[in-house]
Structure 1
Amino acid sequence: MRRLTKNEWTFLAVVAVYSFIPAILGLFRIPELVGGPTIMPPNPRAVIDPVPIILHILASSIFCLAGAVQFLPSVRRDRPAVHRGLGRVVVAAGAISALAGLWMTVFYVFPPALQGPLLYWARVFLSLAMFAFLFRAVIALRARNVAAHRAAMLRSYAIGQGASTQTALFIVAMAFSGVEPLDLFRELIMVAAWVLNLLTAEFVIRRTVATPRFSVAVSRRSQSQD
């Protein structure tokens, strides 16, 4: 990683910090789920059926942290083997995270204060969408459509980073209200986090992905004219 630029190191540091709180809180839950000491407040859903939440925690952490490396231009340019190998890990982790999240949404019983109809259907839709974007990314890469591959990965990553943005918004909300957001207010914050992430992804796609695609099209057109 010595070839990374200063901006790339900064990007990785920001993503690591941004992903730190939900990842660490999730990892602290794992000892309890495998029979160790209880570190976090008890979660009866996780105790009754721990496998999906363990898979979701581990896969989401890998997807968010390793996925950030995949967006670094120097890694894609100078270390294509690393990019390809890590990409397989990231796609697998993202798929497991999405499917485990879907399983928990459908089969776990949540108190109404933690999940109502809005959040339930948002989680179902976004879990399926994240998996679909990952599938689209693989298909696009096999077709050598790099622009479509990058766009699909960015969209799936935006969904996968939802917990980080939700944590940030919860902190802001608690700073103003002094209490943990619950009921509809909680659901609106969580949905807003995903919307914000996806809007950011679309902005990045239009700024950095759409332009190369246009350049490739122009290049091919020029070659056909020659």
Structure 2
Amino acid sequence: MKSLRRSEWTLLAFIIVYSFIPSVGGLIRVLELAGGPTIAPENPRALADPIPIVLHILASILFCMVGALQFLPSIRRHHRAKHRAIGRAIVIAGCVSAASGLWMTHVYSFSEDLQGALLYWVRMVLGSLMIGFIIWAIIAIRARNVYQHSASMLRAYAIGQGASTQTVLGISWMILSGSEAMGPMRDGIMVSAWGLNLLVAEILIRLLLPRPKTRSVRPAVAKWQQFPVSDPDNEA
């Protein structure tokens, strides 16, 4: 970590601060389910079936917080063993986060104020995509395709960081309107957060990731064109 440049420390600090509120809220929920004092509003779904939400919270924190290290060039270049070890950990964490999120979306019972049809289907699609991106990233790096590996993991990370952007947008809405967003407005804010994250991810992919060099393919030349052809009229 001593080899990190100032810009990398700044990026790491930004991601940690950006992930802070949902991470702390999740840890408070885990402590409550473990028998600690009740601080957050009671969640009957978590009390009835706590294992999926505990797995989701812990895996999401690991994926978002520790996964931030994977975007630091110094870690990738000078600490390759650490990069691979962290990568294995966040691959598992990302898949557990997405799978538990899919389970809760489909199995838990939500009121229309908390999850409408739009939010349900977006959660199902994006959770599946997150797992798909992670699997594709593994396949790509095994094929030595660093560009596709990095792009796929960045897209998966953008989906995994949805809660952070949702928190920022939700707080902004509360400040502007004076009340918490519920119903279709809540669905719209949450879906917009994922859309914004994926848009930023695509911009970063195009601006920062070096595309693999493609070899220029010359048209095949017929064998008879490779050698001089004699003119029969000039032959003796």
TM-score, L = length of structure 1: 0.94
**1:5 alignment counterpart:** 5
Higher normalized helix content (fraction of residues): 1
Q: CA deviation at 1:217?
A: 2.9
* Residues 72-122 of structure 1: CA deviation (Å, up to 9, x unaligned): 001000000000000000111000000000000000001110000000000
CA distance in 1, matches of 2:30, 2:37: 10
Letter in 1 for 2:104: M
CA distance in 1, matches of 2:39, 2:123: 27
Q: CA deviation at 1:34?
A: 2.1
CA distance in 2, matches of 1:31, 1:10: 30
**2:183 alignment counterpart:** 183
CA distance in 1, matches of 2:193, 2:30: 25
Paired positions, count:
217
CA distance in 2, matches of 1:176, 1:40: 23
**1:137 alignment counterpart:** 137
Larger radius of gyration, structure 1 or 2? 2
CA distance in 2, matches of 1:172, 1:154: 26
Letter in 2 for 1:217: T
CA distance in 2, matches of 1:35, 1:25: 16
CA distance in 2, matches of 1:52, 1:59: 10
CA distance in 2, matches of 1:144, 1:202: 21
**2:234 alignment counterpart:** none
Letter in 1 for 2:211: R
- Are 2:123 and 1:123 equivalent residues in the alignment? yes
User: Superposition pairs for residues 44-59 of structure 1, below 5 Å?
Assistant: 44-59=44-59
When the two chains are superposed, the root-mean-square deviation of aligned CA atoms in Å is 1.1
Q: Equivalent residue of 2:214, what SS?
A: helix
Gaps of 5+ in 2: 218-236
**1:18 alignment counterpart:** 18
CA distance in 2, matches of 1:129, 1:89: 19
* Residues 99-148 of structure 1: CA deviation (Å, up to 9, x unaligned): 00000000000111000000000000000000000000001011110000
CA distance in 2, matches of 1:110, 1:32: 21
**1:217 alignment counterpart:** 214
- Are 2:145 and 1:148 equivalent residues in the alignment? no
Q: CA deviation at 1:208?
A: 1.4
CA distance in 1, matches of 2:127, 2:156: 9
**1:173 alignment counterpart:** 173
Letter in 1 for 2:214: A
TM-score, L = length of structure 2: 0.90
Q: CA deviation at 1:40?
A: 1.3
CA distance in 2, matches of 1:202, 1:30: 33
Q: CA deviation at 1:189?
A: 0.4
**2:231 alignment counterpart:** none
* Residues 2-48 of structure 1: CA deviation (Å, up to 9, x unaligned): 00000000000000000000000000001221233222110000000
**2:104 alignment counterpart:** 104
**1:68 alignment counterpart:** 68
**1:203 alignment counterpart:** 203
CA distance in 2, matches of 1:181, 1:61: 24
Of 34-43 and 113-122, more deviation after overlay is shown by 34-43
